[in-house]
Amino acid sequence: MDFPQSVSQPDHISTHRRLPPAPASSSIRGLVRDPLKFFMSIASDYGDIVCYRPAPDTAYLINHPDFVRHVLVDNNRNYTKGTSSNQMFNKVVGEGLLTSEGETWRKQRRMMQPAFHHTRLEKLDGMIVEAAQSTLERWERFYAEDQPVDVAREMAALTMTVTTRALFGVDLGDEVREVGEIVNRAASYLEKPSHPRLIQSAAELSAVVERIIRQRKQDFKDGGDLLSSMILARDDQTGAGMDDQQLRNQIMTLILAGYETTASALTWTWYLLSQNLEALARLRREVRGTLNGRPPRYADLDRLPYTQMVLDESLRLFPPAWTLGRRAIGEDEIGGYYVAPNTIIAICTYALHRHPAFWDQPEVFDPGRFSPQNLRGRNKFAYVPFGAGPRQCIGNNFGLMEAALILACILQHFELHLIPGMEVLPQPLFVLRPSRDLMMSLHP
Ligand code: HEM
């Protein structure tokens, strides 16, 4: 791992080396049993910075926007992504943009950025709408047979189709399906990185992705997809492109970072809407008023502000990336407390997004929080569903565009109602998932 050459230190690290408050060491069992509850309760009992010790590490939960900004932005060079969960991710997909560090990361990020430029994203709208419409065609049959749909599963299949088509283009029918099938199989093992089936799926996926890359390079034409853009990318200093292995790692990273997160965001949005009928009605009015029954396009998104606000609020309550982790390189000080080299810093977005000093009635679903006037004056680091600073999500605009187009398309055909009597809890796995199948009935 290549660390940055110079690490900026705060001017003054107090000689007292005061440590943050810490819960009793036995409480660490709660971290394994129910991490969301653990983080919520230590934040509310001990404050905005809390020390806990997941053996063999020392970790600080930071739960204040100023501390988040310090670690992710102002002093980000003192923090790496060298945490155990990132190392697990690395083991599965190889080193890609999500986990690389230092100069390697900077180079990769520069080369990948053009693939996510809005001039490329705006060309993907038709493909996304088409994928949503073929889901709707299947749902018509469910509806005709009075069958509910499992929304979590449906959203995962849909965002997988969208992700693979965005990466590889729409022409690669069979291979794209193969990728989708392998990843869907692998996803259930992603929480157990040493699981033999996950290792096997990763190897299968890697083989298909390598085949696609070789084919694409053979008679290359820019199909407007992300892989084309990545094949064309050149390092602005050396002029070199990415070799096949780098391309493969990046593609695998984008598949895993992009599809389940967006699926989770959509799934929770359907759940929240089913519990908040006023918001649902207002959303439908906006979609109908703006689109008048025709399919949504990229250019319509600016005229669907409430749709965006609903997604923002859903990402507040159920952030798919429910924790962000860093490891300190050198010593530091946060909120007057000493940070020793190697300390793990955890940001639990689920807890931060419910911090009572920054959110009024934090458990209440209220998209109005994200209206332009309400955004003014809020500390923007109280809300980081896509992270912040240089390592902020590269796919945020893509994910939000995809989610908004899919929401609008589906709402033009169906309302989704939760089957009564289902208690749904968030389950913090690789992303924040509902604790059970989310069966919902369809209403035209
Ligand atoms: C709603 C959907 C999404 C959410 C909530 C989300 C969340 C995040 C977060 C929180 C990070 C920062 C992690 C950290 O700082 O430790 C991140 C990074 C990343 N995301 Fe996303 N993401 C989403 C969609 C996507 C999509 C669609 C793609 C690609 C197709 C993607 C690709 C990536 C990559 C490559 C990184 C690493 C960036 C870097 O370190 O330079 N994400 N994402």
- The CB of 82 under 6 Å from ligand 1? The reply is no
Model confidence pLDDT, tens digit, residues 33-89: 999 999 999 999 999 999 999 988 999 999 999 999 999 999 999 999 988 888 877
The whole-number average pLDDT for the span 139-161 is: 94
CA of 300 to the centre of ligand 1 (A): 24
Q: What is the CATH number of domain 25-443?
A: 1.10.630.10
User: In this structure, what DSSP letter does residue 301 have?
Assistant: G
Q: How far apart are CA 13 and CA 23, in angstroms?
A: 24
Q: Where are the domains of the chain?
A: 25-443
pLDDT band at residue 200, thresholds of 50, 70 and 90? Answer: confident
Q: 439-443 and 149-150: which strand pairing?
A: antiparallel
Q: Of 250, 344, 393, 430, which is best to mutate to test ligand 1, by the most ligand atoms within 8 angstroms of its C-beta?
A: 393
**pLDDT for the residue numbered 192:** 66
Which pLDDT score is estimated for 247? 94
Q: Which of 150, 129, 161 has its CA nearest to residue 407?
A: 129
The average pLDDT across 342-354 equals 98
pLDDT value at 379 more than 50? yes
Q: How far is the CA of 281 from the centre of ligand 1 (A)?
A: 30
Measure 45 CA to ligand 1 centroid, in angstroms: 30
What mean pLDDT comes out for the span 399-408? Answer: 98
CA of 261 to the centre of ligand 1 (A): 8
Residue 247 CB less than 6 A away from ligand 1: no
pLDDT at 288 over 60: yes
Residue 444 has pLDDT above 80, yes or no: yes
CB distance 254 to ligand 1 below 6 Å:
yes
Give the C-alpha separation, 89 to 202, whole Å. Answer: 11
Separation of 401 CA from ligand 1 center, angstroms?
Answer: 14
pTM of the model: 0.94
| CB 398 less than 6 A from any atom of ligand 1 | yes
User: In the prediction, which pLDDT does 111 show?
Assistant: 92
Per-residue pLDDT, 12: 59
Kindly report, residue by residue over 106-128, the tens digit of the pLDDT.
999 999 999 999 999 999 999 99
258 CA → ligand 1 middle, Å: 7
Whole-number Å distance between alpha carbons of 8 and 327: 15
Does ligand 1 come within 6 angstroms of the Cβ of 349? no
Instruction: Check whether 417 has a pLDDT greater than 90.
Output: yes
Distance CA(107)–CA(90), nearest Å, equals: 18
Question: Which atom of ligand 1 lies at the shortest distance from residue 96's CA?
Answer: 35
The pLDDT-based confidence of 2 (bands split at 50, 70, 90) is very low
Output the pLDDT for position 190: 66
Contact 344, 83 (CB under 8 A): yes
* pLDDT over 70 percentage in the chain: 95
Helix, strand, coil share (%) of the chain residues, nearest 5: 55, 10, 35
Report CA(90)–ligand 1 centroid distance (Å).
Answer: 15
What is the rounded average pLDDT of the residues 308-315?
98
% of residues, the chain, pLDDT over 90: 72
Q: Does the beta carbon of 97 sit less than 6 angstroms from any atom of ligand 1? A: yes
pLDDT mean across residues, the chain = 91
Residue 299 has pLDDT above 50, yes or no: yes
- Distance from C-alpha of 382 to C-alpha of 379, rounded to nearest angstrom: 6
Average pLDDT (171-185) is: 78
